[in-house]
Amino acid sequence: MHDLHAAARRCLDAADPAEKVRLTHEAWQALEAGRLRPDDASPAALPIGPPGRPARPRLVSPRDLAQRGLGSSEGRAALVHAIAHIEFNAIDLAWDAVYRFRGKSDDYYRDWASCAHDEARHFTMLSERLAELGHAYGDFDAHNGLWDMAEKTAHSDIARMALVPRVLEARGLDVTPGMIERLRRQGDDRTVEILAVILREEVAHVAAGTRWFHDCCARDGIDPEATFARLLDEYMNGSLRGPFNVEARREAGFSEAEIAWLGTLG
């Protein structure tokens, strides 16, 4: 196989987590070695639908997720599971950005394939930590918010770049420092180490979203700051609340005007 879009589809379709991770690493290594490339003759992307995923976890509304404190091993396992679920979805989000949006530059495809590779590694680290805590991926309920937004933005590369990496994934930049501090107080240094790696690397993923969002806006001759605010209002009713990790968002390419505007949202 030489077609990057077809390889991305294989990764998306894989339902077994271990197989999705394996195919993701294999595709990234093939791209790095020059054995994969975007092919203009590749069949058009299929309409978006659910990606390959295991029968568990059960997907429920976010409001129906059980709240557990971090004072118990079970509570910490539930937190690790929630983050593992985000990372599992993020593998698919990155590959869908490769598969769905055609005619992009080699740098675009390399960025999102690299993100998928990172997310697969993050998922593996968290799965191993779950096993240390006596659990496995699928043991707790989860929600489908990340993929829901992928489906809503499947028709628009601008909306996808604005709202998935720069809103939903950027939430991780905001909330992870607090989780690290809470886990550190519980003496869970192993999970802290993993989250520190993820936080550092997720900055680059959000930055990729910023880079390609700006590229889309330049292509269409529209202002990125005004467009970001409009899309947030259109798709999420402006419902983005702080506190925000200003330093990490700045590093991920948010402008000073955007950071000031985010500060007005609460």
> What pTM was estimated for this model as a whole?
0.96
Nearest Cα neighbor of 134 from 220, 76, 67 is 76
**SS3 (DSSP) at 146:** helix
> Which long-range contacts does 262-265 make (Cβ < 8 Å, 24+ apart)?
265/238, 265/240, 265/241
Residue by residue, DSSP assigns 14-37 as: --SHHHHHHHHHHHHHHHHTTS-B
pLDDT tens digit at each of 266 positions of the chain: 599 999 999 999 999 999 999 999 999 999 999 999 999 899 999 999 999 999 999 999 888 787 777 888 899 999 999 999 999 999 999 999 999 999 999 999 999 999 999 999 999 999 999 999 999 999 999 999 899 999 999 999 999 999 999 999 999 999 999 999 999 999 999 999 999 999 999 999 999 999 999 999 999 999 999 999 999 999 998 778 888 999 999 999 999 999 998 888 76
From start to end of 109-238, where are the E strands? none
| DSSP secondary structure letter of residue 145 | H
Tokens of 45: 């992307």
Which uninterrupted H or E stretch holds 182?
Answer: helix 170-185
Q: Supply φ then ψ for residue 222, to 5 degrees.
A: -120, 155
Q: Assign residue 116 a region: left if phi > 0, alpha if psi is -120 to 50, beta otherwise?
A: alpha
